Amino acid sequence: MNPPSKLPVSVCIIAGNEARRIGHTLESVQAWTSEIVVVINDTVSDGTDKVVESFGGKVFREPWKGFLNQKNSASDKCTQPWLLNLDADEVVTPELQSEIAAAVSLEKPPFAAYEFPRCAFYCGRWIRHGDWYPDRVLRLWRRGFAKWGGIEPHTKLEVNGRVGRLRSDLLHFTNESITRQISKITLNHVDFVKRRRAGGKSAGFVELALRPPWRFLRAYFFRLGFLDGWQGFYIAKLSAFSTLTRYTMVREAETEEQAAK
């Protein structure tokens, strides 16, 4: 039996060296969830495990198996009727908590899972427009009704049943600096390039000349990114640059393949 103040929810998290940030995440769920399960990489050395234990969480140290298998490993260890997946840089707001409480307390839940918007804090500002919002994420589900699937590193929850929508935001304290974000661009595109070349696809005029400016126009004007100040402008330009980089890397890979023949 769960204490009266606790909801039948298990929080499941995968983490690396996150001692500096994960405490805020755990603090936002400790009082009202019945279980916290955190799978950490076996290379973690900054005391993340100690922080989790201080919040009453269960820590499992495992070798890195990729995002897909690591997330399924964490969710498989949960015992409650409902599971809530979080990242170590996310915080559940009181408003979202109230909606989750209402959803999981229904005697006959109409949905097998729920999605909700995620709001990012970037360079000193909450981003509420453009390509980054509402950024709906599917993170709450009934145990046994979903598994993590998708293609590394972009996992997605595959649900057996209907998906409902909650309205309140999950807060996302994303990359701390522009430098850190830029450093991740090429790493995030490596798998995209491999999949595209494996399928025999190249990158032509549309991808190189038209997609990047379209991404900027869509994010900054059509999705109102200009309302987010200079941060909104930069995010729109970064989206265009990232798109150009992704498809140029495809052409680069194609050129290298042809040279090797």
Q: Which amino acid is at 66?
A: G
Residues shown for the chain: 261
| From the candidate CATH numbers 3.40.50.300, 3.90.550.10, 3.30.70.20, 3.90.1140.10, the one assigned to the domain spanning 7-173 | 3.90.550.10
pTM of the model: 0.91
Interstrand relation of 154-159 and 146-151 (parallel, antiparallel or unpaired) = antiparallel
- pLDDT for 4 equals 66
Tokens for 40? 């950490």
Q: What is the pLDDT along the chain (261 residues), one digit of tens a residue?
A: 566 689 999 999 999 999 999 999 999 999 999 999 999 999 999 999 999 999 999 999 999 999 999 999 999 999 999 999 999 999 999 999 999 999 999 999 999 999 999 999 999 999 999 999 999 999 999 999 999 998 877 899 999 999 999 999 999 998 768 888 888 887 778 888 888 888 888 999 999 999 999 999 999 999 999 999 999 999 999 999 999 999 999 999 999 888 887
In order of 12, 167, 255, the CA distances from 190 in angstroms are 27, 34, 16
Peptide bond into 4 cis (omega under 30): no
- pLDDT for 248 equals 95
Q: How far apart are CA 108 and CA 69, in angstroms?
A: 30
- pLDDT for 149 equals 95
Tokens for 99? 């909606």
Q: How far apart are CA 149 and CA 158, in angstroms?
A: 6
- pLDDT for 2 equals 64
How many other β-carbons are positioned within 10 Å of the β-carbon of residue 51? 22
- pLDDT for 43 equals 93
Going by C-alpha positions, the residue among 54, 35, 41 that lies closest to residue 14 is 41
- pLDDT for 3 equals 62
Domain boundary assignment for the chain? 7-173, 178-260
Read out DSSP for 40-92?
EETT--SSHHHHHHHTT-EEEEE----HHHHHHHHHHT--SSEEEE--TTEEE
How many other β-carbons are positioned within 10 Å of the β-carbon of residue 61? 13
Q: How far apart are CA 240 and CA 218, in angstroms?
A: 10
